[in-house]
Amino acid sequence: MADDIHWKKEYEIGITEIDNQHRNFLILINNIHAYAAGKYKILALKRLVEELTLYAKYHFFSEENHMLEIAYPLYNEHVRLHEDLLSSFSEMIFDTDCTNTDVHKLHTFLLDWFKTHTITEDKKLSEYEKTLIENAKVG
Ligand SMILES: [Fe+2]
């Protein structure tokens, strides 16, 4: 089982609202890990997974609003990535028997989601925003 991961400076994308949400998301992922370590019962795991799903939806919605505000050119592509993550996750939940092996898979999936989506895709958004700010200063 992968360990809990703790917030690092390198996870920051530089947009405060989104960074704060990512921090909370990481806490929810670590809660799932705690279940895998045997801390929670099945009903509690289901509630943790539900909590994480609701939070992910809220977070994606809020991130997408931010993209619309700045007319982010990769909006459609990014929204599709969000939809894919949510649908892959809901398939995994549907299939889960809440065994430790299943929870391990869920946790690994979530860590990968956090590291790859947050670091690569969400950073593209903040890079774009920085360019807008720089251009506004020049212009
Ligand atoms: Fe995103």
- 109 Cα to the center of ligand 1, angstroms: 15
> What is the DSSP code string of 83-117?
HHHHHHHHHHHHH----HHHHHHHHHHHHHIIIII
For residue 4, pLDDT over 80 is answered with no
Question: 38 alpha carbon to ligand 1 midpoint, in Å?
Answer: 30
Q: Cα(8) to centroid of ligand 1, in Å?
A: 18
Full-model pTM: 0.90
- What is the C-alpha to C-alpha distance for residues 60 and 55, in angstroms, rounded to an integer? 8
Residue 43 lies in a domain: yes
Domain membership flag for residue 65: yes
DSSP 8-state code for residue 118? I
CA of 117 to the centre of ligand 1 (A): 6
In a domain, 97, yes or no: yes
Please state the rounded mean pLDDT for residues 53-58.
97
Per-residue pLDDT tens over the stretch 92-118: 888 877 788 888 899 999 999 999 998
Instruction: For residue 21, name the pLDDT band (cuts at 50, 70, 90).
Output: very high
**How many domains does the chain fold into?**
1
What mean pLDDT value characterizes the chain?
Answer: 90
Cα 109 from Cα 88, distance rounded (Å):
9
Residue 5 confidence class, pLDDT cut points 50, 70, 90:
confident
Q: What is the CATH number of the domain that holds 24?
A: 1.20.120.50
Ligand 1 center from residue 88 Cα (angstroms) = 15
